[in-house]
Amino acid sequence: MNTAKIAAAATAAAAARAGDNSSLAFDVEKVRKDFPILSQEVYGKPLVYLDSGASAQKPRQVIDAMSGAYETYYANVHRGVHYMSQRSTEQYEASRAKIATFLNARSENEIVFTGSATEAINLVAHAYGRTFLKEGDEIILSHMEHHANIVPWQLLRDDIGIVLRVVPVDDDGNLMFEEYEKLLSPKTKLVAMTHISNALGTIVPIADVIRRAHEIGAKVLVDGCQAVPHMSVDVQALDADFYVFAPHKVYGPTGIGVLYGREELLNAMPPWQGGGDMIESVSFEKTTFQKAPLRFEAGTPAIVEAIGLGAAIDYVSALGMENIAAHEEGLLHYATQKLSAVDGLQIIGQAREKAAIVSFVMACAHPHDIGTIVDRAGVAIRTGHHCAEPVMQRYDVAATARASFGLYSTREEVDVLADAIGFVREMFG
């Protein structure tokens, strides 16, 4: 080894120990080159995209897989005998198999493609809720659910007379587990809970939540929208009954959602939408339905989006979910440290276990004014109630500003955010 190489290796090792961007396991600068959108400027400033919790950017591999499908083999799936339909069907189903492996499902029959994660929850509320729940049964939610995991259950409540119970969160944003245990009763038939709070970043001890629910015979639906991009998820180890995620937050396309469900549960549920592709045979007297997952995929599905999602799963799998999680954890600590040091800035959500989401408010400025000002510094953050109004009410704020990090985020970007926040203080302070 020559001197230059030794020096480089020593620097890399030091960087790895310090947990900075150029760690050996995960080279963020190399990763960033895969995302064409990140190299641009906005308002003459390099784009600093800190809104991955709302939707993540897409790597070249996903974009290419999708345009490649349109350019070379696109056709409808499950229908034709011709070459293109066969290839499209193979790729569409290959994506399903990749997701099954990625989540460690027992079989690809447990993976249903929907129009969005929201639609996946609505599917369960309709097909499972209206079949297996009855008046007086209880569903337990947490206080930090996204509206998508509240409103479908309220619609079900108004329809069939079930009761919703809500587990409180403490001042730091931790789920109050003992309160959850108190709510569990023979009336509890379903627990619908987030794995990671989108507004607070709290990682819920979901395996424990599921274990306690199962002890009393209740089923559990997990909203994994914020978890799947940030950590490795094993539905068998968790023992989840339903697990939902949003592909567009995992560097895949919009227009598609994923529902994992235990095969026997899915096959016990009636269809919720009727149409083509979900039937075995149709006559005007009687129609029989496909088994899961096709039973729940009426109509032409999001074919190319499913193929793009397959490419996204390949992409994050190749990087390694553990490496991604470690990189993001480093960013979380760095950002928390840096932002906590700002006078008059309060971080909302300081749970013991957190994902790379930092929600904050400032004494001197409203979140929307913060958002507008940092935007002009090239920094994209989310401002508002994050579709989680009950959480906002819990912490007595109308809105927060939220920086959420992805696998391509860097410490330098945190620094740019901190500088822009400094300017907010200068202007409003």
Partner 1 sequence: MLDDLRELYQEVILDHGKNPRNFRRPDTFSREAVGNNPMCGDALVIYLSLDENQIITDVAFQGKGCAISMASASMMTEVLKGMSADQAEGLFKAFHAMCTGDDDAPEALDGYDEETIERLRMLAGVRQFPMRVKCATLAWHTMDAAVNGNQEISTE
CB of 427 to partner 1, least distance (A): 6
Q: Are 263 and 109 in contact (CB under 8 A)?
A: yes
DSSP secondary structure letters along 171-195: TTS-B-HHHHHHH--TTEEEEEEES
Give the nearer residue to partner 1 in terms of CB position, either 99 or 379: 379
Residue 389 in contact with partner 1, rule: CB under 8 A = yes
What lies within 8 Å, CB to CB, of 7 at 6+ separation is: none
CB of 35 to partner 1, least distance (A): 24
Which of 132, 177, 395, 428 is close enough to bind partner 1 by CB under 8 A? 428
| Residues in contact with partner 1, shown as a per-residue x/- string from 328 to 367 under the rule CB under 8 A | -------------------------------------xxx
| Residues in contact with partner 1, shown as a per-residue x/- string from 32 to 71 under the rule CB under 8 A | -----------xxx--------------------------
Sign, CA dihedral 288-290-296-300, equals negative
Which of 126, 249, 385, 425 is close enough to bind partner 1 by CB under 8 A? 385
Question: What's the start-to-end Cα distance of the chain, in Å?
Answer: 55
Residue 179 in contact with partner 1, rule: CB under 8 A = no
Residue 27 in contact with partner 1, rule: CB under 8 A = no
Give the nearer residue to partner 1 in terms of CB position, either 93 or 369: 369
Give the nearer residue to partner 1 in terms of CB position, either 301 or 367: 367
Q: Are 362 and 344 in contact (CB under 8 A)?
A: yes
Which candidate, 273, 249, 246, places its Cα nearest to that of 118? Answer: 246
Which candidate, 311, 263, 293, places its Cα nearest to that of 105? Answer: 263
Give the nearer residue to partner 1 in terms of CB position, either 330 or 349: 349
Span of 56-64, 204-212, 290-298, 379-387 interacting with partner 1 by CB under 8 A: 379-387
- Residue 118, CA distances (Å) to 4, 161, 333, 337 in order: 53, 22, 30, 34
In whole angstroms, what is the distance from residue 76 CA to residue 323 CA?
37
Residue 221 in contact with partner 1, rule: CB under 8 A = no
Q: Which amino acid is at 360?
A: F
CB of 149 to partner 1, least distance (A): 19
Residue 384 in contact with partner 1, rule: CB under 8 A = yes
Cα diameter, the chain: 82
DSSP secondary structure letters along 89-124: HHHHHHHHHHHHHHHT-S-GGGEEEES-HHHHHHHI
CB of 49 to partner 1, least distance (A): 16
Sign, CA dihedral 38-40-42-47, equals positive
Residue 147 in contact with partner 1, rule: CB under 8 A = no
DSSP secondary structure letters along 359-418: EEEESSS-HHHHHHHHHTTTEE-EEE-TT-HHHHHHTT-S-EEEEE--TT--HHHHHHHH
The distance of Cα 325 from the centroid of its chain, to the nearest Å, equals: 14
User: What is the chain's length?
Assistant: 429
Which of 369, 380, 411, 415 is close enough to bind partner 1 by CB under 8 A? 369
CB of 358 to partner 1, least distance (A): 19
In whole angstroms, what is the distance from residue 237 CA to residue 224 CA?
15
Which of 181, 372, 412, 419 is close enough to bind partner 1 by CB under 8 A? 372
Catalytic residue among 387, 395, 411, 428: 387
Residue 399 in contact with partner 1, rule: CB under 8 A = yes
Give the nearer residue to partner 1 in terms of CB position, either 316 or 377: 377
Q: Give the 3-state secondary structure of residue 227.
A: coil
Span of 21-29, 128-136, 280-288, 380-388 interacting with partner 1 by CB under 8 A: 380-388
Q: Are 381 and 399 in contact (CB under 8 A)?
A: no
Annotated active-site residue 387? The verdict is yes
Residue 425 in contact with partner 1, rule: CB under 8 A = no
Residue 131 in contact with partner 1, rule: CB under 8 A = no
Residue 392 in contact with partner 1, rule: CB under 8 A = yes
Catalytic site residues?
A: 387
**Binding positions for partner 1, rule: CB under 8 A:** 43-45, 365-369, 372-373, 376-377, 383-385, 389, 392, 398-399, 427-428
